[in-house]
């Protein structure tokens, strides 16, 4: 994944397995914190991240035309910021990635899936607050 440095703007390649870890900018050596924002993914990025990341992953299946999805977006962003370093948050546009949505039997959106070690821990459709998403991720963290 490519991450821009907040200090100098340089684009840094971050291995997917380190998305939840601290790093340093290759140019100015400023800290690059763990991903604190949702990551828009396609099927290839999704599979690479799910296969490599060792922390729980929250996946938000959404579409641009969906009003509840637009209402959920700030809650998803809040969850990503609150759980930075402890989880990774992915966004899957169901219009662009229908096969990925089908893989998880998404029938309605927004639809949330929590994964741990590639396995589904929790799934739920509908609008939920950030606090609930955080609870899901914390519960997934406690699973061994």
Angle at 43 between CA 40 and CA 44, to 5 degrees: 100
> How far is the CA of 38 from the CAs of 27, 104, 138, 143, in angstroms?
25, 19, 17, 23
* Catalytic hit among 8, 25, 28, 69: 69
**Domain identity same for 43 and 15:** no
d(CA 75, CA 80): 9
- Distance, C-alpha 46 to centroid of its chain: 9
Select which of 5, 8, 28, 66 is catalytic: 66
Look up 28 and say whether it is catalytic: no
Whether this prediction's pTM lies above 0.75 is answered by yes
Q: What is the pLDDT of residues 123-136, one digit of tens each?
A: 999 999 999 999 99
Secondary structure of residue 88 in the 3-state scheme: strand
Query: What are the tens digits of pLDDT across the range 14-44?
Result: 999 999 999 999 999 999 999 999 999 999 9
Q: Map residue 60 onto helix, strand or coil.
A: strand
Torsion of CA 54, 22, 135, 105, to 10 degrees: -50
What digits encode the pLDDT tens for the residues 44-103? 999 999 999 999 999 999 999 999 999 999 999 999 999 999 999 999 999 999 999 999
Structure tokens that stand for 6 in this block: 């907040």
59 and 78 fall within a common domain:
yes
Q: Are residues 98 and 61 in the same domain?
A: yes
At residue 144 the predicted structure's pLDDT band, cuts being 50, 70 and 90, is low
Same domain, 55 and 25: no
From 126, 34, 29, select the one nearest 83 (Cα to Cα): 34
Domain total in the chain: 2
> Residue 26's domain spans which residues?
2-32
5 is catalytic: no
**Residue 122, domain CATH:** 3.40.30.10
| Band of pLDDT at residue 143, cut at 50, 70 and 90 | confident
């Amino acid at each position: 994944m490519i991450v821009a440095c907040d200090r100098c703007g340089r684009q840094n390649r971050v291995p997917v397995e380190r998305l939840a870890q601290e790093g340093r900018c290759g140019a100015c050596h400023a800290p690059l914190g763990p991903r604190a924002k949702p990551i828009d993914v396609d099927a290839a990025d999704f599979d690479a991240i799910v296969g490599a990341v060792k922390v729980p992953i929250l996946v938000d299946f959404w579409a641009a035309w969906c009003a509840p999805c637009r209402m959920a977006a700030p809650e998803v962003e809040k969850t990503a910021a609150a759980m930075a370093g402890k989880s990774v948050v992915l966004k899957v546009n169901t219009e662009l990635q229908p096969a990925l949505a089908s893989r998880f039997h998404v029938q309605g959106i927004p639809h949330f899936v929590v994964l741990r070690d590639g396995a589904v821990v929790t799934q739920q459709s509908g609008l939920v607050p950030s606090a609930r998403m955080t609870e899901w991720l914390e519960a997934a963290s406690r699973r061994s």
